Amino acid sequence: MKKKYVFSFTEGDGKNKTLLGGKGANLCEMTQIGLNVPPGFVISTEACLAYLDSPGKELPEGLMDEVRSHIRELELATGRGFGDTENPLLVSVRSGSALSMPGMMDTILNLGLNSETLPGLIKQTGNERFAYDAKRRFIQLFGKVAMGIGDEDFNKALEAVKVRSGARSDVDMTVADLIDVAELFRQVVAENRLTPFPDNVWEQLTISIKAVFDSWMGKRAVDYRREFNITPEMCNGTACNVVAMVFGNMGNDSGTGVGFTRDPATGENVMFGEYLVNAQGEDVVAGIRTPKAIQGMKSEMPDLYHQLEELRYKLERHYHEVQDFEFTIEKGKLYCLQTRNGKMTANAMVRTSVEMFAETLLSKEQALLRINPEHLEQLLYPGLDPSFKGEPLATGLPASPGAASGRCVFDADRAETLGRNGTNVILVREETKPEDIHGFFASKGILTSRGGKTSHAAVVARGMGKPCVAGAEGIRVDTEHRQAQVGSQILHEGDVITIDGGTGNVYLGEIPTIEPEFSDQLHTLLGWADEFARIGVRANADTPHDAERARYYGATGIGLCRTERMFNAPDRLPIVVDMILADTSEERQRHLDRLLPIQRGDFFGIFKTMSPYPVTIRLLDPPIHEFLPFEHVLVKQLEDLRGLRKGLLSMTRFIDTVQLLDSDVHAHWMQGLDRLPLNVRELDVEAVERAVATRELMLQRVRTLREVNPMLGHRGVRLGVTIPEIYKMQIRAILEAEAECRKAGIEVHSEIMVPQVCNEAELKWVKKYVDDLRAEVEQVKGVKLDFKYGSMIEVVRACVTAGKMARTAEFFSFGTNDLTQAAFSFSREDAENKFLPDYQTLGIIDENPFETIDVEGVGPLMKMAVERGRATRPDLKVGICGEQGGHPASIRFCDHIGLDYVSCSSPRVPIARLAAAHATMVESIFDY
Amino acid sequence: MKKKYVFSFTEGDGKNKTLLGGKGANLCEMTQIGLNVPPGFVISTEACLAYLDSPGKELPEGLMDEVRSHIRELELATGRGFGDTENPLLVSVRSGSALSMPGMMDTILNLGLNSETLPGLIKQTGNERFAYDAKRRFIQLFGKVAMGIGDEDFNKALEAVKVRSGARSDVDMTVADLIDVAELFRQVVAENRLTPFPDNVWEQLTISIKAVFDSWMGKRAVDYRREFNITPEMCNGTACNVVAMVFGNMGNDSGTGVGFTRDPATGENVMFGEYLVNAQGEDVVAGIRTPKAIQGMKSEMPDLYHQLEELRYKLERHYHEVQDFEFTIEKGKLYCLQTRNGKMTANAMVRTSVEMFAETLLSKEQALLRINPEHLEQLLYPGLDPSFKGEPLATGLPASPGAASGRCVFDADRAETLGRNGTNVILVREETKPEDIHGFFASKGILTSRGGKTSHAAVVARGMGKPCVAGAEGIRVDTEHRQAQVGSQILHEGDVITIDGGTGNVYLGEIPTIEPEFSDQLHTLLGWADEFARIGVRANADTPHDAERARYYGATGIGLCRTERMFNAPDRLPIVVDMILADTSEERQRHLDRLLPIQRGDFFGIFKTMSPYPVTIRLLDPPIHEFLPFEHVLVKQLEDLRGLRKGLLSMTRFIDTVQLLDSDVHAHWMQGLDRLPLNVRELDVEAVERAVATRELMLQRVRTLREVNPMLGHRGVRLGVTIPEIYKMQIRAILEAEAECRKAGIEVHSEIMVPQVCNEAELKWVKKYVDDLRAEVEQVKGVKLDFKYGSMIEVVRACVTAGKMARTAEFFSFGTNDLTQAAFSFSREDAENKFLPDYQTLGIIDENPFETIDVEGVGPLMKMAVERGRATRPDLKVGICGEQGGHPASIRFCDHIGLDYVSCSSPRVPIARLAAAHATMVESIFDY
């Protein structure tokens, strides 16, 4: 039996994309579920391969006979004739392989037009202009696609006619113009090719089919397949789709439109769309007429509206998804030309998921899986009004999502002063330090000109859930003069700007923003996600307030409580600085004793808020010089203080500098400001001397503590070992807070975590502090404590020696920021400003490994740590608290290697909960 | 048959340390090879275990009968009686387990002394003082060891007597004093214990044996075994050695001494040692009499000297090693009390190895294995005269071995000026930068107050083979005033200091040093080493001159040629700076074009020198900001230049600042210096403006290029990708140099190595440059090139993904400095100054991982890389060029995991060659 190469849409197997290509199979499916698809047929990929394999590039024997018989069917179905002069059948010809890929042949429309059929088309449509426009489009498409003539020549001819006729755009061209264009296009073809433009419609069709098949071996297509490793097993050859053209411009019983089966903005279960009577799709695109809302059809074309409603119902019942479809009405008959899954807002996705489950259109799994977790970000952070279309003033890195407007302020103190007065403030800095923390609290958003997505500003902003744009290098911040320069523009203190932490854009002026909403439907959906998820979701939270937010977003524990954040609060930083400046262990202890009750109170509050969920507390991590001002700031302050003493300062500097004095002296001076000009002789010389002495000491410490590579420096457990007093105070605060909770009947599951550990000896060393303090606290407080002791796994060596680590650690928590930094030897504070963007542009690195776990390079280290750790301690609890913990692909990987939980910033918890459910539903694709 | 527990030295198996303990077995062996060991016996470890296991802690039945019969033998052998009042036999009692360990029982001497035997001892020795001294020592030792009385009480009693008698030291005490001491000691015992001091000699002996056995379960011994994981299979129970005391103070036919079988300083094959007539060992220790050179015995005691010569011969024939032995002559009879391998200078070790092979005392393997490779360092670097004993002025890190004296100079320019005039100069800096490189060339040694063993100063100094002490934090360098402060002491420019890079000590003044010698014998020995070594030894060398040194020391290739060193040379750095300051790719290319012939010339010279050995050239590695001055230096220079313009500078600063102007302007001004004071109006204002403009540009670049963690920054291949011109110039220089060599008939094996690679895409990217340039150079030069292209493996991710790396890389070279840094997350520039010393002191880290490969944590990453790489490419060549490549333990590990070669600084090549031979001779002990 001869091989069958051609399949009518009514007979082709809608699931067989290999044979029919994606587009062909889809058209078959639509036809067979009863949608009015224009009649057509598919020439199979097998025909393509047979053609390409044949010695003389001949279409397989009998193929054109099959085609002819299918064209005959189209003629019967449409009542038109292919090449007929009265009522011509026109067709479109398209390629379509199993996987969609660029570089394949474009569509040829209106095939079947020639000198003889053109009058027929004019008669049928009553629209001469449309017919000539169709003709010139056909010539260009055919000439380009089937004959290989570049667009430029056609466009040049078109421009020439437009110039001559004075038409500003295509729509201004008259019939005569279009006739001229068509003639010129014929000449273009004649000049470029030896063979003339085929007037015979069968010749047109045969050449087009061959052109479709040839395009499979075109350079771009071949390159694309090689680039993306598309093998013949995955996709081989292209099919060719031939479809009868239908026209919506055949009178007032014709029309065209697009529709959504539900409202894509709100998700409401009503049809949504637009249509035009007596028009073709191009008319909508060209913007000649304004389409009407689809609801208007109800009165204008009630029958057709009813058909559309039927179509909507059929589509959703069949596809189990909101559909975005195109339709044309030709002389009262509705054709569905195309349908695909509808793109919707996150809100609409959530609502339709919940409602379509109720309507039994979706299972819970389907309702969850159809939503991309990242999409939920829209619902969790304020965003710019999507209708806003303005040019950004500058662009940095999207460091913490959300949008905010406010007045520029260039230092944290001013931000605090203005913020307290209710002014919306954006803190603009070159980079931030812990000493700026009060400015963060007071600001709506943070903008820095240096630093990456893991810079201090970015991490703190994310932790607080405030928008941040970091490393906007086009902005030159001049703190001294309280202004910033962007190109030639100067931003003064008080100028209003808007930052979008989701895109990294910075705008001048106030741009309207949309507030997030955590709807009941989202709650329902996430509840379902929790039913399916295997891996738990915790939040990173540093204060009782943070812990409340964590619970609000549905976190079932704190995976990372950063104790240094507590050190940074404005009431504590001075004590911390005193502690760092201490010369003896005793003096240091004295300052730590002041911090103890504060930390204990923090921990108590967090435990209470999170009860009965676990709370993992990380002991001090950053190098202690981070708590001191920058060296150049101190140098400047000293210079100013000396200038103050000599009476050399300008008034602005004078006011700034007086703030450096003891607070009472400062207050005294401020009161005197109305008696300006100030008499320098009134100066409290001793207060100035004190301020100088303190700053000299700080400067000396800053210089002693200076490190070439602070991220790899004297920090974490290295501090814990060499300056034991700090860790001991923190451990005591944790244990005492736990004891107080137990006495108050609050269930606590605290976990003490040591950062930067590289070998078991470090863990054992700190364990001694813990054991001693536990014994003491249990004895003094008269309660039995029950907590876990564990290790951050953020040093490569800790992964390698995890088997030993797990002898002492009862849990592991991956710090994938640092681990990634170490695995790549990329400074995470520098890479994103320096070479990483280039690397991504050049394709050397696909994804920023600081955003999503590098499964190939970092993944094996994590897997090694889990396996070795659990070999020693089978019930070892393992989590992740790095930035990547909130990223869906990373969550999937973490689920895959058996982690117990992920931890991320609170607003990302919903995203993580959904991603955690997804992780259990999709098959593993990890290969490393 | 009853178990035998006691073995005479004449019958015990000298190899059975398990049964007899190490000490006991050794004494048996010495006895049985015919050395005159004082007679004695060993009570076995089995007796110890039986005693400890028995319910009532009873000595095994019959044990004391055996002991009695062996004491009888001793009496027969010595002609003395145990407890005899006329001629008493005294014995020593000692513990001794299979492995030596601290915390076990000390020796009890003179056991057998009591009120009745004391007069006999006086009579025999004719030395009342000696007898009472022996008595008080016995009481203290027995009291402490067998009765558990602390030393403090005894020492207090001793002090009381000394105070009363006015004796300044023990030797000043009279007989009466010693009698008092003995009496007081008895009282101490009586106060501390219910039981009196046993006067019966058998009771003394029984208690002592039990005390030896008990000490096995003492706390310190048990802790020690647990700490070092010593299992019962390795070592169980202690033996107890009972040996007859012999006395060298029984008249002029008695004496005592120590000897070496060869001269331990030179290795010459002559007996070496000292002796004293009529004296005990303690007399030597107490320094009462000066011992005589052993050659003196030839005339004084010819017979005994002859016996000693025999002893020497026997010892070497038996032990196949130079021996360090102790002897006592009692009434004309020579006893050998102890022998062990002799400690010698490196020179002596080498000489004896070569000579003892010739004498057939050693095989080649033995001759090689007996020398610790590190010991050779003495022979390869100048060292301080070992007789010098002074206090160092300050101490830093031993960063590059060797010792040097010279005048302090605080900047590189001065160093160059003075150095050229022939002055010996030590460059003293806070830290160094590439711009100081001319100062290195001009100096005898480098001293810095900041930075670790892998700081710029250290690495460059090692590369040049110059001594360096780094990070001497006690020194405060004040470049501006050309002085440094150490405590209260001020070092001025020109003051002479001596630095010892082997210890890190810094001394005031000139200390005599000893020059290294690379002797013929060392050549012979290393030739043997090469016969056995499997792993090759290359050197790190950056210039043709370095390459010559590499060959001199026996390197068979260059494992690391750092191209940035070539950028740092004084004639090139200005071009490099211009290149960095370039605004456009074209301008950058223009400066690189000036560098091209220079680099090509370097490579040609190195290839030629090393032919036919391979040369691995690393493309540019450091971040480019390293080629610019420090920010604070530029700020200062700008300030000075502005001061110069305004005529505000002091004369010193004026002279320094004028040097910043164009060189011709500078020269003009310098000529005018004799017309001081200079008229400021003569200033070439334009030259100053030019200097200001250049420095402003540099400052701007420095600030743009600034990184938080430069070691993880924009460097290595990341520069190669983002600023392609630099790598392309370097690759071109390499390929053109190779082509020139080939044309000149010189055999070349060049290897192009890319640093800081983290994924294969980077390697492929640079490979494109290489392929293009290869085609061009081959075409232009008309020769076929043949080189290898490979990757540094210094990024953790490169180890993990080594399988993919090896698809593009033809060789790997481990950069274990960076790899260690990344595996530990320890900044190698900071760790050694900050927490690492504490970590080592506290035992958290045993060995500095930047000196020797951390087998447990870094080792598995290396092994993974080798295995995965060779799985892809079985003939993958793998080497190591990190600092650890010259460290014997690291070489052993590298050999173990199958590396092809190690590469280290030239003077360490001999050490590495010997270590490479050792690696093949010892069984693998790696466990990770």
Pinpoint the alpha helices (H) of B647-684.
651-658, 663-671
Per-residue confidence (pLDDT) for residue A651, from 0 to 100: 67
A826: distance to nearest CA of chain B, Å?
A: 5
Q: Are the C-beta atoms of A257 and A276 separated by less than 8 Å? A: yes
Average pLDDT for B97-107: 75
Task: Please indicate whether residue B456 is annotated as part of the active site.
Answer: yes
Residue of chain B nearest A758, judged by CA positions: B824
Instruction: Report d(CA B461, CA B396) in Å as an integer.
Output: 15
- A856: which chain B residues are within 8 Å (Cβ-Cβ)? 759, 800-801
Residue of chain A nearest B859, judged by CA positions: A800
Instruction: Report d(CA B18, CA B31) in Å as an integer.
Output: 19
Q: What is the 3-state secondary structure (H, E, C) of B683-748?
A: CCHHHHHHHHHHHHHHHHHHHHHCCCCHHHCCCCHHHHHHCHHHHHHHHHHHHHHHHHHHHCCCCC
Instruction: Report d(CA A661, CA A655) in Å as an integer.
Output: 11
Instruction: Report d(CA A617, CA A238) in Å as an integer.
Output: 58
Residue of chain A nearest B803, judged by CA positions: A928
H or E segment and range at residue B904? strand B901-905
3-state secondary structure of B293: strand
The pLDDT confidence band at residue A681, using thresholds 50, 70 and 90, is very low
Please give the full DSSP string across A433-499, using - where no structure is assigned.
-GGGHHHHHH-SEEEESS--TTSHHHHHHHHHT--EEE--TTEEEETTTTEEEETTEEEETT-EEEE
The pLDDT confidence band at residue A927, using thresholds 50, 70 and 90, is very low
Average pLDDT for B221-240: 86
Q: How crowded is residue A331: how many other Cβ atoms within 10 Å of its Cβ? A: 13
Average pLDDT for B866-892: 94
Measured between alpha carbons, how far is residue A739 from residues A777, A789, B28, B109 in Å? 8, 16, 64, 58
- Residue B176, chain A, CB below 8 Å: the answer is no
Contact A825 B842 (CB under 8 A): no
- Min mean pLDDT across A513-517, B490-494, B628-632, B836-840 is at A513-517
- Min mean pLDDT across A646-660, B106-120, B469-483, B767-781 is at A646-660
More reliable by pLDDT, A303 or B284:
A303
Q: How crowded is residue A703: how many other Cβ atoms within 10 Å of its Cβ? A: 12
Strand partners, B91: B111, B244
Per-residue confidence (pLDDT) for residue B927, from 0 to 100: 46
Identity of the residue in B795, B824, B839 whose CB atom sits nearest the CB atom of A825: B795
Alpha-carbon torsion angle B565, B571, B575, B581, nearest 10:
80
Average pLDDT for B113-118: 93
Residue A462 has pLDDT above 90, yes or no: no
DSSP state of A80: -
Out of B240, B758, B881, B904, which one is annotated catalytic?
Answer: B881
pLDDT in tens, A375-414: 898 788 888 887 888 889 999 988 888 899 999 999 888 8
- Min mean pLDDT across A826-840, B653-667, B899-913 is at B653-667
B799: distance to nearest CA of chain A, Å?
A: 9
- Residue A846, chain B, CB below 8 Å: the answer is no
Residue A669 has pLDDT above 80, yes or no: no
Half-sphere exposure of B495 (CA within 13 A, CB side): 18
Per-residue confidence (pLDDT) for residue A62, from 0 to 100: 92
3-state secondary structure of A264: coil
- Residue A807, chain B, CB below 8 Å: the answer is no
- A835: which chain B residues are within 8 Å (Cβ-Cβ)? 714, 718, 721-722
- A713: which chain B residues are within 8 Å (Cβ-Cβ)? 827, 830-831, 834
Residue B924 has pLDDT above 60, yes or no: no
The pLDDT confidence band at residue B928, using thresholds 50, 70 and 90, is very low
Per-residue confidence (pLDDT) for residue A1, from 0 to 100: 60
Contacts of A599 (CB under 8 A, 6+ apart): A563, A566, A729, A730, A733, A734
Q: For the CA atoms of chain A, what is the radius of gyration?
A: 35
Task: Please indicate whether residue B591 is annotated as part of the active site.
Answer: no
A802: distance to nearest CA of chain B, Å?
A: 10
Q: Which of A912, A849, A825 is nearest to A533 (CA)?
A: A912
B927 CB burial (10 A radius; 0-12, 13-18, 19+): exposed
Instruction: Report d(CA A796, CA A800) in Å as an integer.
Output: 7
Identity of the residue in B796, B844, B845 whose CB atom sits nearest the CB atom of A822: B796
A625 — alpha (psi -120 to 50), left (phi > 0) or beta?
A: alpha
Measured between alpha carbons, how far is residue A132 from residues A927, B132, B915 in Å? 56, 134, 89
B422 — alpha (psi -120 to 50), left (phi > 0) or beta?
A: left
Q: Are the C-beta atoms of A205 and A67 separated by less than 8 Å? A: yes
More reliable by pLDDT, A508 or B647:
A508
Instruction: Report d(CA A805, CA A811) in Å as an integer.
Output: 10
pLDDT in tens, B167-177: 877 777 888 99
Contact A829 B714 (CB under 8 A): no
More reliable by pLDDT, B611 or B280:
B611
Half-sphere exposure of B442 (CA within 13 A, CB side): 26
The pLDDT confidence band at residue B682, using thresholds 50, 70 and 90, is low
Contacts of B432 (CB under 8 A, 6+ apart): B439, B440, B446, B448, B451, B455, B456, B457, B460
Q: Residue B80 corresponds to which tokens in the numbers above?
A: 């003395």
Contact B718 A795 (CB under 8 A): no
Residue A671 has pLDDT above 70, yes or no: no
Measured between alpha carbons, how far is residue B102 from residues B26, B47, B95, B219, B678 in Å? 19, 21, 11, 11, 74
3-state secondary structure of A583: coil
Average pLDDT value over all residues in chain A: 89
Question: What amino acid occupies position B769?
Answer: Y
Residue A928 has pLDDT above 70, yes or no: no
More reliable by pLDDT, B717 or A109:
B717
Instruction: Report d(CA B352, CA B345) in Å as an integer.
Output: 11
- Residue A202, chain B, CB below 8 Å: the answer is no
DSSP state of B326: E
CA end-to-end distance (rounded Å), chain A: 47
CA end-to-end distance (rounded Å), chain B: 47
Measured between alpha carbons, how far is residue A82 from residues A111, A143, A336, B556 in Å? 9, 20, 22, 83
pLDDT in tens, A564-581: 878 887 788 889 999 999
Residue window 758-777, chain B: list those with CB within 8 Å of chain A: 758-759, 761-762, 765
Instruction: Report d(CA B824, CA B819) in Å as an integer.
Output: 9
Out of A28, A336, A881, A894, which one is annotated catalytic?
Answer: A881
Instruction: Report d(CA A892, CA A902) in Å as an integer.
Output: 10
Pinpoint the alpha helices (H) of B301-341.
302-319
- Residue A635, chain B, CB below 8 Å: the answer is no
Instruction: Report d(CA A730, CA A301) in Å as an integer.
Output: 75
Contacts of A790 (CB under 8 A, 6+ apart): A616, A751, A752, A753, A754, A809, A810, A811, A812, A813, A877
Between helix A151-165 and helix A175-192 the angle, nearest 10°, is 150
Residue B666 has pLDDT above 70, yes or no: no
Q: What is the 3-state secondary structure (H, E, C) of A185-207?
A: HHHHHHHHCCCCCCCCHHHHHHH
H or E segment and range at residue B28? helix B17-32
- A822: which chain B residues are within 8 Å (Cβ-Cβ)? 796, 822-823, 825
Per-residue confidence (pLDDT) for residue A788, from 0 to 100: 97
- Residue B857, chain A, CB below 8 Å: the answer is yes
Contacts of A35 (CB under 8 A, 6+ apart): A311, A314, A315, A336, A339
Q: Are the C-beta atoms of B658 and B673 separated by less than 8 Å? A: no
Contact B844 A759 (CB under 8 A): yes
Contact A758 B834 (CB under 8 A): no
Residue B512 has pLDDT above 80, yes or no: yes
Contacts of A646 (CB under 8 A, 6+ apart): none
- B714: which chain A residues are within 8 Å (Cβ-Cβ)? 830, 834-835
Average pLDDT for B805-813: 98
Q: How crowded is residue B386: how many other Cβ atoms within 10 Å of its Cβ? A: 10
What percent of chain B has pLDDT above 70?
Answer: 95
Average pLDDT for A902-928: 84
- B713: which chain A residues are within 8 Å (Cβ-Cβ)? 827, 830-831, 834
- Residue B830, chain A, CB below 8 Å: the answer is yes
Average pLDDT for B322-335: 92
